[in-house]
Amino acid sequence: MGKTETKARSGTDVSRDLTPAQEVKTALADFMGELDSFQSEISTKLQQQEERLTMLDRKTKTAARPALATTAEMDAPHQKAFNAYLRSGDDDGLRGLELEGKAMSSAVAGDGGYLLDPQTAEMIKSTLSSTSSIRALASVVNVEATSFDVLVDHTDIGAGWATESGPAAETGTPQIDRITIPLHELSALPKASQRLLDDSAFDIEGWLAARIVEKFTRAEGSAFCSGDGIDKPKGFLTYNSATNGSEVWGELGHVTTGVDGAFAATDPADAIVDLVYSLGSRYRANASFVMNSKTAGVVRKLKDADGRFLWSDGLAAGEPSRLLGYPVLVCEDMPDIAIWSPAIAFGDFAAGYTIAERPDIRVLRDPFSAKPHVLFYATKRVGGDVSDFKAIKLLKFALG
């Protein structure tokens, strides 16, 4: 823009030079004009867009579209139907629910009841898992069959050194054992009066879950430790034991305290140290102690040669206490200290003990057998057995 063209009065084009100041002034004037035009155009477009959004928003409110369904709203019909069945035996609502959408089907009525709704069943399952039982340490699997098979490879394959030109010798073949864990039926039969069920302020689902938990916890915990395997899980204390190092597959290894029915008078903590190192190193990383409250009270007083307690409390809320650095599960189903009593167990129970169960819990309402009370027959199927005998060791209070 060094020059501008003008038209003379005579009709001919005349060019004349401008000074630098005049050129800058002319350029700035052109730029400001274009900028004002651009701002005006943008402002107009933004105003039009805002008007369109306002119109769309008003149309949406006018149409009053329903809110999208939430999980709570999906569960409401299910809970209402199950609550009606528990209170009055009305199963019409249950029959109208689909298995895929509500995790329930009236088809199980022929088997003796209806499936518990997911919230209540999950409450029972989580409470069972958090109780002081072997369940808290063992491996728990959900199955749909009547039994669960565990394949255990408890031998090593052979190996040998080879040379460049020498023939390779045949090595040993590993042996695989199949352990079958059958599922047994565990039941609870709480009852409530019909008058109590008619009271709408009574939380029937919460009460039923609490009673089932109480019954199932006691029965399971006892069976997982000392069950005989007849119509119940087989406990790990039911198996024979032998002096550590001499046991065979199907037996648990044990160490002794050196005194019948007590710890040794001198260096009593040595027995616990021997118990820890009787377990293979590959199991010790995930190992835990298991004992009841009476035994824990005795062990808590033990000290080492420097006068330091072997027992240490958890540093945070909910963290288990530790003995020689390993967590301790206080399980009341373990036996008390007595002559030849296996009062303390130590091992990797996730590898050593397996619990198999069906994930559902069935409830049958019986208003006839105990009038004027209503019985609730709740059942579940569960089994348990030792899956690796090398993963669990016992401390027996005996001379040895």
If you average pLDDT over residues 189-195, what whole number do you get? 83
Taking CA 226 as the corner, what is the angle to CA 258 and CA 336, rounded to the nearest 5 degrees? 40
- Structural domains in the chain plus CATH codes: 82-91+104-154+176-231+356-386 (3.30.2400), 241-352+391-396 (3.30.2320)
52: tokens are 């369109």
Q: Is the pLDDT of residue 131 over 50?
A: yes
Q: What is the pLDDT of residue 69?
A: 46
Give the integer Cα–Cα distance in Å for 157 and 131.
40
Compute the distance between CA of residue 68 and CA of residue 233 in angstroms, rounded to an integer: 47
CA torsion sign for 329, 331, 334, 339 is: positive
Q: Which residue has the tokens 């550590």?
A: 244
Gap between the Cα atoms of 43 and 93, Å rounded = 60
pLDDT higher than 80, residue 249: yes
Mean pLDDT value across residues 237-266 = 93
Average pLDDT of the segment spanning 143-163: 77
* Distances in whole angstroms, Cα of residue 350 to Cα of each of 248, 284, 385: 21, 12, 12
- Name which of 92-96, 181-185, 323-327, 345-349 the model is least confident about: 92-96
Residue type, 194: Q
Share of the chain above pLDDT 70, in %: 72
Predicted pLDDT of residue 42: 87
Per-residue pLDDT reduced to its tens digit, 305-319 = 888 888 998 777 778
Mean of the per-residue pLDDT values of the chain = 79
pLDDT digits (tens, 9 = 90+) for 74-128: 445 666 666 666 666 666 665 555 443 333 333 344 444 555 556 566 666 666 6
pLDDT band of residue 55 (cuts 50, 70, 90) is: confident
> Of all residues in the chain, what percent carry a pLDDT higher than 90?
35
Average pLDDT over residues 256-266: 92
Pull the structure tokens for residue 167: 């023939």
Say how many residues make up the chain: 400
- The more confident residue out of 242 and 27 is 242
